[in-house]
Amino acid sequence: MSRPGPPMAAEPGPSPAPVERTLDRLVSAASWIWLLLVGVIVAGVGLRTFFAISRIELEELQWHLYAVGFLVGILGCVLHDRHVRVDVFREGMSQRRRDWVDLYGLLLLQLPFIALVLWSGIPLVAESFASGERSGSAGGLSHRWLLKSALPIVFALLLLASLARTRAIARRLFAPPVADAAAASDADEASATPTADPAPGEPPDAAG
C-alpha cells in the first residue's frame, strides 16, 4: 500500500518557489555521483583482478560517494513529493484534507525530526573535526569530518525544502480566495474531485 509516487518524476507543486528550483538543480547535478561511483567500483575491481592491488582508499571513496548520493536523494524526494506514502485512505481524501494531513505531519513530525538530526549531528561533526578523525583502517581516507558534514549540510537544505513546502501548503489552506487565485482554484476543481469551497476566514478545523 505504500507507494513512491508516480513512476516518472512528479513535478513539485503548481509553482515551486525559487528556493525549491535551486535545490532541485542541485539534486540533478548531484545525480552524476552515481556515474562516478560506477567508475570507482569498476576501477577497484579492475585493479584487484588484473593487478592484484587492493586500494582501501577506493573502497572508502565508494561509500563516501554513496552517502552523499542517498542524502541528496532524501532531499529530492521532499522536493518532488516522492517519499513513500501509504495511500489507501489518502486516495479518498479531498485535496484540502490531504493538505491538512501534510501540514500537521510537517509541523509535528517532519520538521522536528530534521531538527533532531541537525541537533545531534552538528556536535559529532565538530568533534570529528577537532580530533582530526580519520579512517580506522590503515591507508584509509583522512578528513572524516568532510564526509560527516554532508549530513548536517543536506539536512539543513532539507529543513529549507520542508519549510518551503509548509509555506506552500499553509498558503493553499489559509489564503483568502482573491480574484486570480480563486480563478485558478476553480479551474483546478473543475477537473479534480469537488471539494468544499474554502470560504474566506473559515476556521482551520472545519476540514481537519
Name 91's Cβ contacts closer than 8 Å, sequence gap at least 6: none
Name the one range near other proteins by CB under 8 A: 14-22, 96-104, 177-185, 192-200. 96-104
Interacting residues with other proteins between 74 and 93 (CB under 8 A): 74-77, 80, 82-90, 93
Least distance in angstroms from the C-beta of 81 to other proteins: 8
Question: Does 173 sit near other proteins (CB under 8 A)?
Answer: no
Least distance in angstroms from the C-beta of 134 to other proteins: 12
Least distance in angstroms from the C-beta of 116 to other proteins: 5
Question: According to CB under 8 A, which one of 11, 25, 54, 109 is a site residue for other proteins?
Answer: 109
H/E segment holding residue 196: none
Question: Does 59 sit near other proteins (CB under 8 A)?
Answer: yes
Distance CA 93, CA 71 (A): 31
Question: Does 34 sit near other proteins (CB under 8 A)?
Answer: yes
Question: Does 126 sit near other proteins (CB under 8 A)?
Answer: no
Please give the single-letter amino acid code of residue 46. G
By beta-carbon proximity to other proteins, the closer residue of 28 and 199 is: 28
Question: According to CB under 8 A, which one of 67, 163, 170, 173 is a site residue for other proteins?
Answer: 67
Name the one range near other proteins by CB under 8 A: 15-23, 102-110, 172-180, 189-197. 102-110
Beta strands in the chain (DSSP E): 2-3, 85-86
Question: Does 25 sit near other proteins (CB under 8 A)?
Answer: no
CB contact at 8 A, 81 and 156? no
CA 191 to chain centre: 29
Distances in whole angstroms, Cα of residue 165 to Cα of each of 92, 134, 151, 162, 186: 22, 37, 21, 5, 22
| Helix and strand counts by DSSP (H, E) for the chain | 7, 2
